[in-house]
Structure 1
Amino acid sequence: MKNVKLVSVGTFLPGQPIGNDKIQERFSVNAEWIELAIGNRSRHLVMDLDTGEINYTLADICNMAAFNAINKAGVDVDDIDFIVMGTATPDSLMPATVNMVAEKLGINNVATYQVQSGCAGAMQAIDMATKFLRLGEYNTGLVIGGDVCAKYIDIERDFSQLSSSELINYALFGDGAGAAVLSSDEQVSGANIVATLNRCEGLYRQPGQELNWLGSRLRDVENVQPLKEDYKAIEEQVPVMAKEVMMEIITNAGWNMEHVNHFMTPQLAGHMTDKIIQLMEVDPAKAVNCVADTGNNGNALPFLQLEMLMDRITDGEKAIGVAIESSKWIKGGIALQA
């Protein structure tokens, strides 16, 4: 089996950061409460909150992230053998968004795959790409992850009438995209992918999150919600599952906890992520943490963490990444060594 390296990471966050004061102004969510209860300071959106204009599609921001990753890798688009993309919010059912990104990049005649998934989708896509490259059929792969909230925001709603459980989502989530170039070429430099993990453990368990395809258009349909989350279940289960993944991926890599220099933990919201870091018994100084400033942008978050990691990690250092998806309780993980 071939060795696989993470060669480069590129990201893209649309527009300027949107602070809590703007969220309060637009969605009637108290800015002080956001800071105290959630811990997020800002987020990015493809939508102009004043006009409702959509400035970017998911394909647009994924294209920009992928372009950045390809440039950093020093490869040409013709070197890309396949693309895997993870998203929970595709622009359309058909054509698949991954193929629209390929067109924007000028990539043709390659295999493309789109993983429909939430927070674990980026890890699932990396796991798929790593397995493809290990088998030796391909040399270079492009992995993409991204999500946008526009479909779930109706700026004409009377937000003062919404419950706190509905309003919290406007403070939690944001938009963004990330991408990585992976290679099995021994001459290429990068961080070695030592192990990956991708597993669904949702049998006989109720979903912790449900996201309806039609978004805010369903607000008047009886008994149907565009976005539904069981926050209690997420708060109880995600830290436990995150620690399980961390220990399993460390074991699979043949390491001990003290060997790991950097930890990319699940990113839900500022305070919740801090709690997860504590329950995982991770040294906060070793945590790669960004959600308080970027918002929870789903499949983009692991790439934002990976980009931060690539700036920090030095030769010989080891890193662990963990992602948990509450929709049907999916575990994702990665072990890297520079």
Structure 2
Amino acid sequence: MINSYIKGVAHYVPEQVLTNDDLSKMMDTSDEWIKTRTGIHQRHTTGDTNLGPADLAVKASEILFDRYSIDRDSIDFVVFATSTPDYFVPGSGSIFQNKLGLKNVGVLDIRQGCSGFTYAITVADNFIKSGTHKNILVVGAEVQTTQLDFDDAGRGTAVLFGDGAAVCLVSATEKNKGVLSSHLHSDGRYIQELGTEYPSSKYKDIITGDDVKNRKHHIHMNGREVFKHAVRRFPEVITEGLEHNDLTMDDVSLVIPHQANYRITQAVQKSLNVPDHKIFSNIHKYGNTTAASIGIALSESLEQGLINDEDIVVLASFGAGFYWGSVIIKW
């Protein structure tokens, strides 16, 4: 029987750091206000470098190849998750494939927002288990800060998001390890609560000057509504994954949730009675990096020696769409 496992993980964030104190000089906020409501201390930004998510993903991939001695020619497929593609059309996948110097392999672009990484791993897992591919590069990369409004009107989102990329190599194995199951969900009734509507093919000219003036091409979020659903869906989908595999939280070594807001993580932790040492958070350093956040957290977990062979690791996500999901892994 063919299983899929994560052979290696790496991440990259831009060098420029934007602290809460920096933001306090642009809008009516403070370091204490942001930390209290989000747990975020700083975030990384591409600034004026004109780097896109494909560029960040290339840098993360070079780290991956070097760290795990991976031959790029062994990669036979790519799944690229982002909500902020380099181009309106096409997605970032082919840009990434070219810049990284991969062979003319297939690339699949997906846009599941904050759940991008869990969806991407699920796609890779199923391709591997079907026998069609052996080494799939999964990418989660975002450049969010270029679409934020750094003023009082945009404060609700400007304090949250950061830029970054994470990559992992999902490979085939006959050993009893790897992805045990994935559990994916959506509910489009709440599409207006979080997202970026313009540019949109629904409207003539895709976007107008008035749309830009009214900032409709920038991300918007109903924070209260997102919080309410997140603290419900995270525990549901984590429990669903554990029950599917006849596991309990006692069997789990580490839960890595999407890094949306530290208050959400705390609520999920409390709901599931997860001990502090079993849940990972790094939102204080990076903010919400959307499709990259779980991958960055997974990469840092490995760097810190928090995951060992045969550990049960739970990845869980919730975000725009609404999309949410969990992936249960035996390391």
TM-score by length of 1: 0.88
What displacement does 1:205 show?
A: 4.3
Q: Secondary structure at the match of 2:99?
A: helix
What displacement does 1:111 show?
A: 0.7
CA-based RMSD:
2.3
**Where do residues 153-192 of structure 1 align in structure 2 (5 Å cutoff)?**
153=148, 159=151, 162-163=152-153, 166-186=154-174, 192=178
What displacement does 1:206 show?
A: 5.1
**Where do residues 130-279 of structure 1 align in structure 2 (5 Å cutoff)?**
130-153=125-148, 159=151, 162-163=152-153, 166-186=154-174, 192-202=178-188, 204-205=189-190, 207-214=192-199, 218-221=211-214, 224=216, 226-279=218-271
CA distance in 1 between counterparts of 2:264 and 2:324 reads 18
Instruction: Name which of 295, 299, 316 aligns with 2:287.
Output: 295
Q: Kindly indicate whether residue 1 of structure 2 is the aligned counterpart of residue 6 of structure 1.
A: no
What displacement does 1:229 show?
A: 1.2
**Where do residues 77-96 of structure 1 align in structure 2 (5 Å cutoff)?**
77-96=72-91
What displacement does 1:216 show?
A: 12
- Shift of the 150–54 alpha-carbon distance from structure 1 to 2, 3 Å rule, reads farther
- Shift of the 57–27 alpha-carbon distance from structure 1 to 2, 3 Å rule, reads farther
CA distance in 2 between counterparts of 1:255 and 1:270 reads 26
What displacement does 1:36 show?
A: 2.2
Structure 2 equivalent of residue 50 of structure 1:
none
Q: Secondary structure at the match of 1:26?
A: coil
Partner deviation per Cα, 1:235-282 (whole Å, 9 max, x = no partner): 111111000111111122231221111111232123332233223322
CA distance in 2 between counterparts of 1:179 and 1:37 reads 29
CA distance in 2 between counterparts of 1:277 and 1:211 reads 29
Please list every run of at least 4 consecutive aligned residues from structure 1 whose deviation after the TM superposition is greater than 6 angstroms.
none
Partner deviation per Cα, 1:47-79 (whole Å, 9 max, x = no partner): 1xxxxx235222110111122223333221110
CA contact (8 A) 2:145 2:162 kept: no
> Structure 2: which 5+ residue stretches go unaligned?
200-206
Q: Kindly indicate whether residue 105 of structure 2 is the aligned counterpart of residue 110 of structure 1.
A: yes
CA distance in 1 between counterparts of 2:290 and 2:191 reads 20
What displacement does 1:145 show?
A: 0.5
CA distance in 1 between counterparts of 2:218 and 2:284 reads 24
Structure 1 equivalent of residue 314 of structure 2:
320
For 1:195, give the aligned amino acid. S
CA contact (8 A) 2:149 2:218 kept: no
For 2:40, give the aligned amino acid. N
CA distance in 2 between counterparts of 1:174 and 1:154 reads 13
Q: Secondary structure at the match of 1:335?
A: strand
CA contact (8 A) 2:35 2:41 kept: yes
Q: Kindly indicate whether residue 22 of structure 2 is the aligned counterpart of residue 22 of structure 1.
A: yes
What displacement does 1:182 show?
A: 0.7
CA distance in 1 between counterparts of 2:100 and 2:11 reads 15
What displacement does 1:35 show?
A: 2.1
Taking only the aligned residue pairs, the percentage that are identical comes to 22
Q: Secondary structure at the match of 1:172?
A: coil
CA distance in 1 between counterparts of 2:7 and 2:249 reads 25
For 1:13, give the aligned amino acid. V
TM-score by length of 2: 0.89
What displacement does 1:225 show?
A: 6.2
For 1:23, give the aligned amino acid. L
